[in-house]
Amino acid sequence: MTYIRKSLTLIFAINLVLLSSVIVFFAPVNSTSRNLVTILEKEEIPTTIALEPNSEGFYHADLHWVKTVLEMDRKGSGKVSIMINCTPSNADHIGMYFRTIQSGEIVEVIDDQTYAIQNGQQLTVNHSASNDFDLSYMVYLENNSLIQTNTTLQYHFTYIADFFLSEQIAHYRVDTNLIVIDLIRPAWDADLEYQELQIKMPIDVGEENVTSDFLDSIEFDVEQFMIDYYILSYYTKSDSEGNYWLVFNCRKNALPIKGSFEAKFYVSTEHFLLPKVFNWLVILLVSLFVTTALVLFLVVINVRNKSKEEVTEFKEELYKLLTTEET
């Protein structure tokens, strides 16, 4: 029995280590190093700033267009810059708020690339995470007395993003040779002349022009709704090293108030190095199955040993009895 207890203790310890490994694997990770990090609390919204929208919005400005420039690396991280072009309608305009940005997408706001500009003059802005259920961030002018009403003002909001942790890029379950990318952008409380999403991907085209043959070679495909809804285009951006990176551009003209904007497409896995994801439930079930099998095995061994002992004892007693009768 001592042997059985030791074995069960060892099995329990092995399973505890396995379960701990699963928990560590699925813990929040940094977008670049993938090392464990502490989750930082959101910055509180200053009480002096009143940017909460009502049902009709609260921009105190006419929005013209929104353009998002997104640079994605092979690990599913990258940089996002959102440009909002508007015209303040009165002196109450103090900034912009963002409807829901996917949870986990914003890793860190890049302060020196987050600002407003009007008449060629760069204006300092502050930013704050929102605790509201359908708002993500607020960008507000440090000194709104510097702006001119009825004059175009453009905001730039730039941050490091993780599309993997925000579940906007993943291995495609239907076809393991593909990556599925599903980028969901914030909605706006105003009609827009257009909204545009420019996605620079970690795929070197090898030449300036993007051909249909090249797109076929990387198994690039989009959902049908994108073909029906957006103006789609493909081109390249070169760098100093002679690479021509693929750019996928999606544009929607006359986007209505609170209009959705989603880009969903597929591409070959060979251009990405996403972390491998294992189903923790399957791992746990397999672990329990193995544990149960080992316990049953030990029970069988124990029963067999006991049976051998009993048979041996019976034989010894029988031998003694026969020996006594003969004498």
| Three-state secondary structure call for residue 257 | coil
> If you search the block for the tokens 């300092």, which residue do you land on?
124
Segment 139-156 shows an average pLDDT of: 95
Instruction: List Cα–Cα distances, 24 to 20, 35, 57, in angstroms.
Output: 6, 10, 42
State the chain's mean pLDDT as an integer.
Answer: 81
Give me the half-sphere count of Cα atoms (radius 13 Å) on the Cβ side of residue 191: 4
Residue 103, pLDDT above cutoff 60: yes
Residue 300, pLDDT above cutoff 90: no
What pLDDT shows up at residue 239?
93
Angle at 164 between CA 162 and CA 168, to 5 degrees: 100
Give me the half-sphere count of Cα atoms (radius 13 Å) on the Cβ side of residue 21: 12
What pLDDT shows up at residue 31?
35
Residue 295, pLDDT above cutoff 80: no
118 against 57, higher pLDDT: 118
Segment 83-104 shows an average pLDDT of: 92
Residue 296, pLDDT above cutoff 80: no
Least confident of 34-38, 203-207, 321-325: 34-38
Q: What is the rounded CA–CA span in Å between residue 163 and residue 123?
A: 29
What pLDDT shows up at residue 48?
37
Nearest to 245, CA basis, from 67, 74, 68, 66: 74
What pLDDT shows up at residue 53?
55
Q: What is the rounded CA–CA span in Å between residue 142 and residue 42?
A: 19
State what percent of residues in the chain have pLDDT above 90.
60
> If you search the block for the tokens 């440009």, which residue do you land on?
83
Segment 231-253 shows an average pLDDT of: 96
**Which tens digits make up the pLDDT trace of 4-28?**
555 556 555 565 555 555 454 444 4
Give residue 141's identity as a one-letter amino acid code.
L
Residues with Cβ < 8 Å from 320, sequence gap 6 or more? none
| Three-state secondary structure call for residue 235 | strand
Least confident of 25-34, 138-147, 236-245: 25-34
Residue 46, pLDDT above cutoff 50: no
What pLDDT shows up at residue 29?
39
pLDDT confidence bin for 248, thresholds 50/70/90: very high
Residue 37, pLDDT above cutoff 50: no
CATH match of 61-271 with 2.60.40.1730: yes
Segment 41-49 shows an average pLDDT of: 36
What pLDDT shows up at residue 50?
45
